[in-house]
Amino acid sequence: MSTQSSSLAGKVAIVTGAAGGIGGASAAEIGRHGAKVLLVDNRDDAVRQKADELAAEGLDVAAFTADVSDVAQVDAYVADAIARWGRIDLFHNNAAMEGPFLPIQDYDVDVFDRLVAVNVRGVFLGLRAVLPKLLAQDSGAIVNTSSIAAWVGFGNLAAYTATKHAVAGFTRAVAAEIATTNVRVNAVSPGVIETEFVKRIERVVAAPGDPTEGHGLFMPSVPKQRYGQPEEIAKVVRFLLSDDASYVLGANWLADGGMQATG
């Protein structure tokens, strides 16, 4: 096994949205620090491919295809991790979608319901299924992926913004519920991170025929004058999941190149 450090050695982790930019990077980061990782995503081919890539690196990983908004499929990914490795210690509750870029009066109700199902219900179902396992063993840590959109309002992304405020709310409330145990829950709030997620929004907003497809559109709001890389979020997630973060509870940890501090 290629490990840079043994800080998560022997732990079992689940990462949702693991076929995507941030989830893929966090699965790699956690795996490289010694944990076994179940990569969960609803894109079957993509999650298998990501798991194959990490396995080829020598990491102990597996793929599981599931829609995080479906109760039975959430219970199934939890059961799979336990059947495979006997326990769960770490959970990156990360899968989400951005939805359309539209003013609220043009936002379709069915599309809204789907966004809430994935971004809010999905996070809720993950917490509801994983937390009892951690509490039963009185150890473990969870990181929910929130967003800079839990700190400021983004026009034309109102529904998405509301779902990420909800993730921050879950994190704080669950922290209150488990504070006296040895289980911790926190959130990470990425700013603008270079993944397909942001590229999709940029393409939608780009002027017709713009050869850059709008890439860099959000740069004026980023004090650091560069987008973040998924690996920079993954390192924060790994820290929050590790015992080094033993007194960090209910935090919503910003990694946004200064957006919130200066906005």
Ligand X SMILES: NC(=O)c1ccc[n+]([C@@H]2O[C@H](COP(=O)([O-])OP(=O)(O)OC[C@H]3O[C@@H](n4cnc5c(N)ncnc54)[C@H](O)[C@@H]3O)[C@@H](O)[C@H]2O)c1
Minimum Å gap between C-beta 97 and ligand X is: 5
Q: Which residue's CB is nearer to ligand X, number 128 or number 139?
A: 128
Minimum Å gap between C-beta 73 and ligand X is: 8
In the DSSP assignment, the letter for residue 194 is S
Residues in Cβ contact with 62 at an 8 Å cutoff, skipping those fewer than 6 apart: 37, 38, 39, 51, 80, 84
Amino acid letter at 38? L
SS3 content of the chain, % helix, strand, coil (to 5): 50, 15, 35
Q: Which residue's CB is nearer to ligand X, number 20 or number 31?
A: 20
Q: Which residue is nearest to ligand X, using beta carbons?
A: 20
Active-site entry in 107, 160, 227, 247:
160
Minimum Å gap between C-beta 93 and ligand X is: 9
Known catalytic residue: 160?
yes
Q: Which residue's CB is nearer to ligand X, number 22 or number 162?
A: 22
- Cα dihedral sign for 159, 40, 89, 135? positive
Q: 93, 127 in Cβ contact below 8 A?
A: yes
Q: Taking the CB of residue 58, how many other CB atoms lie within 10 A of it?
A: 12
Minimum Å gap between C-beta 71 and ligand X is: 13
Minimum Å gap between C-beta 192 and ligand X is: 5
- Cα dihedral sign for 83, 84, 89, 92? negative
Using CA atoms, how far apart are residues 205 and 223, in angstroms rounded to an integer? 21
What tokens were used for 176? 């209150």
Can you give the binding site for ligand X, defined by CB under 6 A? Answer: 16-17, 19-23, 41-43, 67-69, 94-97, 118, 122, 145, 147-148, 190, 192-193, 195-198
- The values of phi and psi at residue 39, to 5°, are -90, 120
Does residue 219 sit in helix, strand or coil?
helix
Catalytically active residues are 160
